[in-house]
A = this chain, B = another copy of it.
Amino acid sequence: METYQQSARNTVKRSPKRGHYDKETVYQILDAGYICHVGFAVNEQPYVIPTAYGRDGDTIYLHGAMGNHMLSSLEKGLPVCLTVTHLDGLVLARSAFHHSFNYRSAVLFGIACLVTADEQKDHALKVITEQILQGRWDEVRLPSKNERKITKVLAFEIEQASAKIRTGGPNDEAEDYQLPIWAGVVPLRLETGVAETDAKATMELPLPASIKSLSL
């Protein structure tokens, strides 16, 4: 099992048994996500920006407009922290103290660089589009030369990473189990609703395969 190298930077200190360093676990969390939160600091001022992404091996692709402040900062080679989090439940204990969440998060460390080659840029845009909705790339009009030109693409390489996962019910103090206080978990899930056809559509079209497979 391939794992990320551990150092103080990526070691889960709180509840260390919830920490994971194998690539498979980190990849699963990344592949199940829609957006990441990108952290970087300019003159010691940190920024945390939500954005789309796509993963290919240990490369995370980010994209945006040419003038995008975050991408322009990252391409200078600043250290970056990129986090993807899934919220899985409210953990409701008998004591206020033991309230928690069930979650899966992946925290990645590395550096990003500018993607300039047309072929790699197209590949990155495909990977990002497929992360939004699997199968979508083959259904849509692909980027024109000009669209490719005005889109900035960065490749962030995962140097180190960790995953942190909490599952299960509350962990109360032994004596609190006798209290007449309900405890348990309320599951949380990011659900997709019924697809809404664009009001500006000029023709009637069936739902594409990509959307149909969402509800499988």
Contact = CB atoms under 8 A, between A and B. Distances in A.
B187 A194 contact: yes
B79 A141 contact: no
A143 B133 CA distance: 44
Contact of A107 (B49, B133, B176): B49
Contacts of A125: 96
A64 B14 contact: yes
Contact of A97 (B95, B143, B177, B178): B143
Interface in A35-63: 35, 37-41, 44-50, 52
16 contacts: A9-B45, A13-B67, A14-B67, A34-B90, A46-B46, A46-B80, A50-B83, A92-B132, A92-B133, A141-B179, A183-B197, A185-B198, A186-B196, A186-B214, A188-B192, A189-B193
Contacts of A198: 169-170, 183-185
Contact of A105 (B50, B79, B93): B50
Interface string A8-20: 0100011000000
Interface string A61-78: 000110111000000001
Contacts of A14: 64-65, 67-69
A94 B176 contact: no
Given A87-B190, A184-B196, A41 B38 contact: no
Q: How many copies does the complex hold?
A: 2
Contact of A95 (B140, B179, B197, B210): B140
A101 to B, nearest CB: 7
A207 interface: yes
Interface centre among A81, A141, A176, A205 (most CB of B within 10 A): A141
Given A13-B69, A141-B181, 10 more contacts: A35-B103, A39-B39, A47-B107, A96-B126, A96-B143, A170-B198, A177-B201, A178-B202, A180-B205, A186-B214
B46 A41 contact: yes
